[in-house]
Structure 1
Amino acid sequence: MANTLDPMDLKQIITLHLDRSSNREIAETLSISRNTVNNYIRLFKASDYTYKELLSFDIGKLESLFPSRTTINNPRYDELMRYLEDINKARHHPGFTFLYHYQQYASQADNPYGYTQFLEHYRRKYKIVKGSMKLEHQAGKEMFIDYAGKKLQIVDKTTGEVIDVEVFVAILPHSQYTYVEACMSQKREDLIRCSENALHFYGGVPKAIVSDNLKSAVTRSSKYEAQINRSFKDFARHYNCVINPTRSYSPQDKALVENAVHLAYQRIYYPLGEMTFFSLEELNKEIRMLLEKYNSLLFKRKQASRLELFQSVERAYLKPLPNSKYELKEYRRAKVQKIGYVYFSPDKTYYSVPYRYIGKETTIHYTSSLVEVYYNHQRIASHSRNPSKGAYNTNKDHLSSTHKHYSEWNPEYFKNKAAKYGTAVAACVEQIIAKVDYPEIGYKRAMGVIQLHKLYGAERLDNACKRALQADVVGYRRIENILKNKLDQSTLFMQEEEQEQSHIPKHQNIRGASNYQ
């Protein structure tokens, strides 16, 4: 099945186009068809918006303006490409002929290409495989990142346990200016934090970050179009660059960063061999000192160091850093409840959304300070994150007591419903609704109180509500606890009930206080 272009890639195409990259360069950077890029650029130019306006739109609006198109060729072409990969491995075997392999291909393919097209596609695909060549890297175009295969260690002071730590390596290929940092893992959070630290170390942003097919960076690897981890792609969007993973089984794509890792073993790992570190901070402090010396070493042929090449040439081609650092985003799915809120499970809190989305499945994007609710790639609500457990976070514009779905839900409706089970129940329900700023929140709690009669009966519920009113602890949870713990049936409570009644029986001869004035 042909893949479709991720809506977020539309912004990457626009970003690279604004950076004056050609359509061919954009296609190579994003690993998509050049014709796809050409089509989108024509659509962008024909639209009523400037490129900067398009870049400011959210993903949902961009997707509606420019529907997804295929980014790899059809299954027939894909079948040929897979076959060419196999025959290229046998290219230098004695007795190899294209005609023999074409006949095999034609016999097994449902709709084979002709022999001439077969050869043409092979030559296009492998036109530079004849020998190796020195790659000329453009200044400021890419930053290569990878993890070293060998690990460093820190020691836990309290237990003496030796803990293996990962080593992150980044390099700007034009100047070969290198960044190295130790971190606890290769997980997404550490990868993004290390990549961000590398960008701030360089003081600028390249057009693309080229990563290996790490699980924390690539959700699904592919030779033609890898699927980037959602958070890593959002990180790239924040820093106005793109992610371009290397092709699977193509070591030449990451030769430079592999060489940087090898040099890190010599210049950084080896001097650290006799040293012991008790924290990641101590280890990174020593790495930075060794890294400074390493970047200042002169190249034998260029008569300049990595640092000098970076300062004199490559730094000028980097894009500026954004004003703020990236906040890692997490994602949750949630259905909009009847009262117009989504339940945010990490904090066990609720956030309001517009009523028209009741019953819809939404995606919650959240950081340490912000919670955003999306429906079909369109943001429908945004709230400051509130970690208070059970809190209802409300935007007045989202709520409406007269909404058509809840026209029958009003204070009088719940008061009448509660009165069937006792006067105390009705009084509690009235208090619960009056306590909250927005009736819809109180309605849910009031309904919970009323429903308790199903488990405990109307008489016990009314007694529990009386006790809650006397103690001034009216609330769904308090009333439920009174019933669970059978406090409505306790001897003390029954005595209090009896004390409220007069010991003198009522009859017509009893005079009131007015008779003694």
Structure 2
Amino acid sequence: MPANRLSMRKIKDVLRLKWANHLSDRKIAQSCNISRPAVADYVDRAERAGLSWPLPDTLTDAELERLLFPTLTKSSARDRVPPDLLKIHQELQKKNVTLFLLWQEYREQHPKGYQYSWFCDQYRHWLGSRDLSMRQTHRAGEKLFVDYAGHTLPVIDPRTGEIRTAQIFVAVLGASNYTYAEATWSQSLPDWIGSHQRCFTFLGGVPELVVPDYVPGNI
């Protein structure tokens, strides 16, 4: 679905809940998962555009977007601040963060900034270029990537109730993504070497290269 249609659908929900259901900005914000200032901004824009509920059946999403976010003049276009795409990408890794939410925050900081459809298109273009530049080609059996997982695993002794924390060793073949994983009590050198030995036995051979993201501190 095009990005501008997604944003217009959200805004239509805001207007419907405000004008037809007479909900408060706070309840609308909770229902639509957006901020209260964004709710107030959309309603204000719609009122200034002379709109009312229900919206005309002939009003397309593109026309609604032009009414709510009129095109900036050439002089004001120079004042538009482009979004920090790397920062957006980093924020999207957080729980419950969406492009729509980040665009709202961007427009709150830069009221003369770009519209949502342009915002999404630029991010996706940047992401596609980034993925292409980072893409690697692996030959079968060439590389084995090894590391410890970021999460540990609690192990409970059924006799004593004692809880010990296990480390998770992970190895992935580059060409096939075939994965081996096991739990050890530590990330010490003996466990590190032992995990490699058991991994090679499991795979039935050794790769040309082992590429670690982790090296025990006492090596």
Q: State TM-score, norm by structure 2.
A: 0.38
Q: State TM-score, norm by structure 1.
A: 0.17
Q: Which has the larger radius of gyration?
A: 1
